[in-house]
């Protein structure tokens, strides 16, 4: 397979000013007519080179250049292209192709999800629809006519505004849509189906009325309100926070069941995985409600960061994704609790993105090369990319950042640009130099930042010395120093913040400040420090690095109590938990009896006792670091020791704090009983504490707890409480209660695929022995199918990523199972196959026996026949 390099980028030879498409949709095939109004790109040089259009799996029926029908000798069709010779600098090309959406299981291009037609074109799916210059720097005005049988497909949608429609004699009808904004083909969308819609409107800041519509299958019409509310909040927020107004007269969201990603920001016609739209109390958890709000916002924000200003090429993907994830995180922080949001994001980043950065697929935020771009919709491009944007904001300040984003939109509206253009706007608006900072875009790997301190009582000076390094990653053995913004403060012995004054400064500058660490080794000295302080470092996780400071457990407990930064109070608790758990992992490995350090128990007790604390943060504090995170921070991960140590700690915490858990549980459960479901932060917080308390309480096995759990399962009016009760029962030894709950849940929700996904996931995550056999059995369930990505993720993905003791069974059966599924999915849906592979690629983390078994499965996949470029790239890089 061909490797594509950023350094080889060239401007397109030709441009497409107008794109006129007509789709004739039928059950056994579809016809696509494309009229492209084209011209030579003046920036590409002189002469008329051959025109090479992208195209894949297309059956060409006819081709005409300026109305002249072309014959076989006039063009050349290859597996992924069509080449012809234009005879003038401007011309019109007409083509007709036949495609087969009805048998498209890759869910890329035009395909059928259930009974509806829909599209997914990012990154390179449009070439499966028609011959085109399928690259983001070719932007065109689109007009699209969709024709289909009227009874089965009453709704016909595309981008922009509807401008004409009509009926034909044979029971078919058609609608024409016109998008006034130039766009790359990856933002094209089409939907045809029997859909209902929820309608609302939004008045923009300049007073324009925008119609808002969410289209769903009729049975889901009662699950759209939360997404609609989220959309209106997003539209308002983007006006307030970034001065960005919506630009079309209509904004549509369509929910589809079979979708590879979460959602897609097609201009004016967002297409969503139904899991990212549908939410109501009875069927969706609090987490699902928050996910819907975040994804609706994310896709809406793309209208400016992605659509109005798009990417020049796919190496720049983080230009739109990193920035948009940063924007949706700001939005979610504003709508809910900022500290909880930050804790969740950082936990996710440190567990999963840090693992990616340390694995065989490690790449920089702006990758240098790829085989298959679909493999680069990664945690690094998205989440680390968002952290990089956050660091720019931290360095420039909120006002400076806003000046930079205003300049970026003003300069580049309607253009396809690069990460360099984004950073340049930030620099120019602020008179800043971000040259060294840009290494965050080009160097892969997670930097380590080790910090040491020195206090001089006589001189009243306190120094912090930072040493940064970054481990080698594929293709990058040596790294240069990053610019690492370290937000920090100092605490005195009473836990008060000390005013911060660096040597050479005339006066102190607040109690939290940002140190820009930009050398391999660098010392900052504070003056006027009259007692040995305790540093609070990397407040709010101001940079995506692994920070090392030799805190004692007592110091961590002190920070948990006193740090003014809420994120760092949580972080101190996490570090304390990690130290305690790592001790216990060592004890298990040495064959010693496990000992739980009671300081952790006492630290958690004080959290639970203090009813003035934010309950969501107490719930976060009580959540021990996950097995996946403990794996990530291990040199060699001992799966069994990690599991045993963590379970032992949970059991010890449960026994020691039973009464407190029970009290808080009962109080919150009582409020839940009496309060109708509300999807708001304080209600999320109450249920979060209630549910984590229940999960600890059930470890006691006491009959009153089991009864309360069953009661919560049966009586709750919302999925958050019901699903937690189910999960807790599933992981317990109470087989009769468990089986009854699983059966009644499945019976009740059998017609709701999204709820059945949760039923599969809960069972996939059951860490008791026999996990693999249970998953294999569940694959036979009538509600399961490999053709639906949500099902694959819910059952197989959840098993391999979350049920680590079962997946990593010492005999390798878990690996064999995963490889078998990848081999099947490679043919059905390469994108999903390649994603599913990730847990096999991390073989270097494990003991020699498991390494051998995992590698053998990767080799088996490689030898299994014709591999998609998606799977080939991940497998071959993992074995390199």
| Residues annotated as catalytic (active site), given as ranges | 299
Binding mask 96-135 for ligand BAL (x = CB under 6 A): --------------------------x-------------
- Give the Cα separation of 414 and 421 in Å (integer): 14
Select the binding partner of residue 261 from Zn ion, ligand BAL, none (C-beta < 5 to 8 A, by kind): ligand BAL
Residue number, 373 or 581, with CB nearest to ligand BAL: 373
The residues that bridge with 59 in the sheet, in sequence order, are: 98
Pick 4 or 261: Cβ nearer ligand BAL? 261
Q: Is residue 191 a contact partner of residue 169, using CB atoms and an 8 Å limit? A: no
Q: Is 238 in the site for ligand BAL (CB under 6 A)?
A: no
> Does 299 participate in binding ligand BAL (rule CB under 6 A)?
yes
DSSP track, 57-73: S-EEEEEEETTEEP-GG
Q: Which is nearer to ligand BAL, 308 or 850 (CB)?
A: 308
To ligand BAL, the closest distance from the beta carbon of 828 in angstroms equals 21
- CA quadruple 16, 373, 248, 223: dihedral sign: positive
Interface with ligand BAL, residue 328, by CB under 6 A:
no
- Of residues 244-283, which lie at the interface with Zn ion (CB under 5 A)? none
Distances in whole angstroms, Cα of residue 155 to Cα of each of 33, 200, 221, 432, 651:
20, 18, 15, 51, 55
Residue 294 near residue 336 (C-beta atoms within 8 A): no
Residue 48 contact among Zn ion, ligand BAL, none, beta carbon within 5 to 8 Å by kind? none
Min dist. Cβ of residue 141 to ligand BAL (A) = 21
* Contact stretch for ligand BAL (CB under 6 A) within 294-302, 443-451, 617-625, 850-858: 294-302
Give the contacts of 27 (CB within 8 A, at least 6 positions apart). Answer: 102
- What is the token pair recorded at 352? 């999963």
The closest alpha carbon to 542, from 519, 500, 571, 575, belongs to 571
**Is residue 264 at the binding interface for ligand BAL, with CB under 6 A as the rule?**
yes
Q: What Rg, from alpha-carbon coordinates, does the chain have?
A: 28
Out of 289, 298, 342, 501, the residue judged to bind ligand BAL by CB under 6 A: 298
Closest contact distance (angstroms) between CB of 295 and Zn ion is: 9
CA distance 764 to 27: 36
Rounded alpha-carbon distances, angstroms, from residue 680 to 306, 455, 676: 29, 46, 12
| Closer of 123 and 603 to Zn ion (Cβ) | 123
Nearer to Zn ion, 321 or 620 (CB): 321
Compare residues 253 and 778 and give the one whose CB is closer to Zn ion: 253
Contacted entry of Zn ion, ligand BAL, none for residue 356, CB cut-off 5 to 8 Å set by kind: none
Specify whether the CB–CB gap between 266 and 211 falls below 8 A.
no
8 Å CB contact between 53 and 82: yes
CA terminus-to-terminus distance, the chain:
15
Minimum Å distance from CB 457 to Zn ion? 52
Closer Cβ to ligand BAL, 189 or 694, answer by number: 189
Q: Compute how many residues bind ligand BAL; rule: CB under 6 A.
A: 9
Q: Tell me which residues in 312-331 interact with Zn ion (CB under 5 A).
A: 321, 324
- Is residue 265 a contact point for ligand BAL (CB under 6 A)? yes
Q: Which of residues 243-262 bind ligand BAL (CB under 6 A)?
A: 261
Q: How far is the CB of 158 from ligand BAL (least distance, A)?
A: 18
Smallest gap from residue 325 Cβ to ligand BAL (A)? 8
Maximum separation of any 2 CA atoms in the chain, in Å: 96
**Minimum distance from residue 127 beta carbon to ligand BAL (Å):** 17
How far is it, in rounded angstroms, from Cα 673 to Cα 810? 45
Give the angle subtended at the CA of 334 by the CAs of 345 and 264, to the nearest 5°. Answer: 65
Query: What's the min distance (Å) between Cβ of 327 and Zn ion?
Result: 10
| 38 interface partner picked from Zn ion, ligand BAL, none, CB below 5 to 8 A per type | none
CB under 5 to 8 A by kind: which of Zn ion, ligand BAL, none does 122 bind?
Answer: ligand BAL
Q: State both tokens at 123.
A: 């990154």
Tell me which of ligand BAL, Zn ion, none is bound by residue 345, counting a contact when its beta carbon lies within the kind-specific cut-off of 5 to 8 angstroms.
Answer: none
CB of 459 to ligand BAL, least distance (A): 53
- Separation between Cα atoms, residue 850 and residue 639, nearest integer Å: 10
**DSSP codes joined into one string, 18-72:** EEEEEEEE-SS-EEEEEEEEEEE-GGG-SS-PPEEEE-SS-EEEEEEETTEEP-G
Binder of residue 643, out of Zn ion, ligand BAL, none (CB less than 5 to 8 A by kind): none
Is residue 312 at the binding interface for ligand BAL, with CB under 6 A as the rule?
Answer: no
Among 321, 328, 497, 737, binds ligand BAL (CB under 6 A): 321
Q: Which of 797, 737, 732 is nearest to 766 (CA)?
A: 732
What SS3 class is residue 798?
A: helix
Q: Which residues pair with 273 in a beta bridge?
A: 256
Note whether 291 binds ligand BAL by CB under 6 A: no
- Residue closer to ligand BAL (CB basis): 261 or 432: 261
| Segment (H or E) for 146 | strand 140-149
- Angle separating helix axes 639-656 and 598-609, nearest 10 degrees: 50
Which is nearer to ligand BAL, 235 or 263 (by Cβ)? 263
859-862, long-range: CB within 8 Å, 24+ apart, which pairs? 860/819, 860/823, 861/819, 861/822, 861/823, 861/826, 861/837
Residues that bind ligand BAL (CB under 6 A): 122, 261, 263-265, 298-299, 302, 321
Residues that bind Zn ion (CB under 5 A): 321, 324
């Amino acid at each position: 397979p061909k490797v594509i390099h950023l350094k080889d980028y060239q401007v397109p030879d030709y441009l497409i000013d107008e794109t006129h498409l007509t789709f004739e949709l039928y059950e056994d095939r579809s016809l696509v007519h494309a009229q492209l109004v084209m011209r030579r790109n003046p920036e590409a040089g002189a002469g008329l080179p051959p025109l090479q259009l992208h195209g894949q799996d297309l059956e060409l029926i006819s081709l005409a250049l300026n109305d002249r029908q072309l014959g076989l000798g006039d063009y050349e069709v290859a597996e992924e292209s069509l080449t012809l010779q234009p005879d003038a600098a401007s011309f019109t090309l007409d083509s007709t192709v036949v495609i087969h959406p009805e048998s498209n299981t890759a869910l890329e291009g035009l395909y059928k999800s259930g009974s509806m037609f829909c599209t997914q074109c990012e990154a390179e799916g449009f070439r499966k629809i028609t011959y085109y210059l399928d690259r983001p720097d070719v932007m065109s005005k689109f007009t699209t006519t969709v024709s289909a049988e009227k009874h089965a497909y009453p709704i016909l949608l595309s981008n922009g505004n509807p401008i004409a429609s009509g009926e034909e004699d044979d029971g078919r009808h058609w609608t024409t849509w016109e998008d006034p904004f130039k766009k790359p083909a990856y933002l094209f969308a089409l939907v045809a189906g029997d859909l209902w819609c929820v309608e609302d409107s939004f008045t923009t800041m300049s007073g324009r009325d925008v119609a808002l519509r969410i289209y769903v299958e009729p049975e889901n019409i009662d699950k759209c309100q939360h997404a609609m509310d989220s959309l209106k909040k997003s539209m308002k927020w983007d006006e307030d926070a970034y001065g960005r107004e919506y630009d079309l007269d209509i904004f549509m969201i369509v929910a589809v069941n079979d979708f590879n990603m979460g959602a897609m920001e097609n201009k004016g016609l967002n297409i969503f995985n139904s899991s990212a739209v549908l939410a109501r109390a009875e069927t969706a958890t609090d987490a699902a409600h928050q996910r819907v709000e975040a994804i609706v916002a994310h896709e809406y924000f793309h209208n400016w960061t992605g659509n109005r200003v798009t990417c020049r090429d796919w190496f720049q993907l983080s230009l739109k994704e990193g920035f948009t994830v940063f924007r949706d995180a700001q939005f979610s922080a504003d709508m809910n609790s900022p500290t909880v949001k930050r804790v969740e994001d950082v936990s996710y980043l440190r567990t999963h993105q840090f693992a990616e950065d340390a694995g065989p697929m490690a790449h920089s935020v702006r990758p240098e090369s790829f085989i298959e771009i679909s493999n680069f919709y990664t945690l690094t491009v998205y989440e680390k990319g968002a952290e990089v944007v956050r660091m720019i904001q931290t360095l420039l300040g909120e006002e400076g950042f806003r000046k930079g984003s205003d300049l970026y939109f003003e300069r580049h509206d309607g253009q396809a640009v690069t990460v360099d253009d984004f950073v340049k706007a930030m620099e120019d608006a602020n008179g800043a130099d971000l040259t060294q900072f840009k290494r965050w875009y080009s160097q892969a790997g997670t930097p380590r930042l080790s910090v040491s301190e020195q206090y001089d009582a006589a001189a009243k000076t306190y120094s912090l010395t930072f040493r940064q390094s970054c481990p080698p990653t594929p293709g990058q053995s040596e790294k240069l120093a990053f610019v690492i913004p370290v937000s920090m403060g100092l605490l005195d012995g009473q836990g008060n913040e000390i005013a911060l004054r660096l040597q050479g400064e005339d006066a102190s500058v607040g109690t939290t400040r940002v140190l820009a660490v930009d050398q391999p080794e660098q010392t900052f000295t504070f003056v006027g420090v009259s007692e040995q302080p305790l540093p609070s470092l990397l407040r709010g996780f101001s940079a995506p690095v692994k920070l090392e400071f030799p805190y004692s457990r007592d110091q961590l407990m002190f920070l948990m109590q006193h740090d003014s930064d809420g994120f760092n109070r949580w972080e101190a608790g996490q570090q304390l938990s990690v130290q305690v758990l790592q001790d216990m992992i060592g004890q298990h490995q040495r064959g010693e009896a496990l000992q739980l350090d009671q300081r952790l128990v006492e630290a958690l007790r004080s959290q639970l006792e203090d009813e003035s604390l934010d309950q969501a943060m107490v719930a976060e504090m009580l959540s021990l670091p996950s097995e996946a995170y403990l794996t990530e921070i291990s040199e060699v991960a001992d799966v069994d020791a990690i599991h045993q140590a963590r379970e032992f700690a949970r059991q010890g915490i449960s026994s020691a704090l039973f009464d407190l858990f029970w009290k808080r549980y009962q109080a919150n459960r009582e409020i839940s009983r009496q309060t109708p479901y509300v999807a708001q932060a304080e209600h999320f917080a109450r249920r979060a504490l209630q549910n984590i308390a229940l999960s600890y309480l059930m470890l006691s096995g006491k009959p009153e707890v089991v009864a309360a759990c069953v009661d919560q399962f049966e009586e709750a009016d919302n999925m958050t409480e019901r699903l937690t009760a189910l999960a807790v029962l599933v992981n317990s030894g109470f087989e009769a209660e468990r089986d009854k709950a699983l059966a009644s849940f499945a019976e009740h929700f059998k017609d709701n695929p999204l709820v059945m996904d949760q039923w599969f996931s809960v069972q996939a995550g059951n860490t008791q022995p026999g996990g693999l056999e249970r998953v294999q059995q569940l694959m036979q369930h009538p509600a399961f199918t490999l053709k639906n990505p949500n099902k694959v993720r819910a059952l197989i993905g959840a098993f391999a990523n979350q049920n680590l003791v079962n997946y990593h069974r010492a005999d390798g059966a878990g690996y064999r199972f995963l490889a078998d599924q990848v081999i099947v999915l490679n043919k059905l849906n390469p994108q999903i196959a390649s994603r599913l592979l990730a847990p096999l690629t991390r073989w270097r983390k494990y003991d020699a026996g498991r390494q051998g078994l995992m590698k053998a499965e990767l080799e088996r996949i490689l030898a299994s026949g014709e591999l998609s470029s998606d799977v080939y790239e991940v497998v071959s890089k993992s074995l390199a």
